[in-house]
Structures are given as structure tokens and as C-alpha cells.
């Protein structure tokens, strides 16, 4: 698993995904990702178009909005630092 630098949650609950991670996973503007809470980490992966799970859209700047309920559960408020880890098909987010 490869570690990337940390990013901070902005005032609207968004995180910017590193361009290299987006390229490796084939995420472009409008791509859908799913978020799964596993203990104290968030697992993000590319969502299939026919998936019935809740999906989130990557915007034109590579940002994904983390749902308010998820941020509240993890106590991730504005300016909270989050570390990114990457595998072949997953992005793992955890408190920095």
C-alpha cells in the first residue's frame, strides 16, 4: 500500500484527491465513487455504473464531498487532516 501526503477537509466537507491517484483509478470529472466506513477509516473505490450503493461524484477539481454523517461519526471537522493510502483499486482515508 502506497501512502500519499495528507490533505485537509474544507468548509464544505470536501477532500481533494491527488491527481496521481485519480489517474491510477481512472477517475475523471463526473466519475462515481463509493465510500465505506470501516472502523475509523474510510474506504473509497470507483463505483460501477449499475451499483445500487450510495455514490459520490468527483468534481472538476478532483474533490469528493464526504457526507456530513460520516464526518460527524469520525469527528472530522473543517481543517481536519486526512492521510491518503492507495492500493490497486482502493483509496483509504484515515486521520493524519
Alpha-carbon distance 69 to 19, whole Å? Answer: 26
**What is the widest separation between alpha-carbon atoms in the chain?**
34
DSSP, collapsed to helix, strand or coil, labels residue 20 as helix
3 pLDDT above the threshold of 80: no
Looking up residue 33, the CATH number of its domain turns out to be 3.40.1550.20
pLDDT digits (tens, 9 = 90+) for 23-75: 888 899 999 999 999 999 999 998 876 566 778 999 999 999 999 999 999 99
User: ∠ CA(68), CA(73), CA(74), 5° rounding?
Assistant: 100
How many domains does the structure of the chain reveal?
A: 1
Domain encompassing residue 13: 2-95
What is the model's pLDDT at position 50? 59
Which grid coordinates belong to 39? 472502523
pLDDT band at 2 (very low <50, low <70, confident <90, very high): low
Amino acid at each position: 500500500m502506497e501512502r500519499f501526503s495528507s490533505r485537509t477537509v474544507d468548509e464544505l466537507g470536501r477532500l481533494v484527491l491527488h491527481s496521481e491517484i485519480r489517474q491510477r483509478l481512472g477517475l475523471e470529472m463526473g466519475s462515481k465513487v463509493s465510500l465505506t466506513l470501516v472502523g475509523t477509516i474510510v474506504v473509497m473505490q470507483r463505483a460501477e455504473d449499475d451499483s445500487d450503493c450510495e455514490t459520490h461524484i468527483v468534481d472538476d477539481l478532483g474533490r469528493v464531498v464526504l457526507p456530513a454523517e460520516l464526518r460527524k461519526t469520525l469527528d472530522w471537522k473543517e481543517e481536519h487532516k486526512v492521510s491518503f493510502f492507495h492500493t490497486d483499486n482502493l483509496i483509504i482515508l484515515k486521520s493524519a
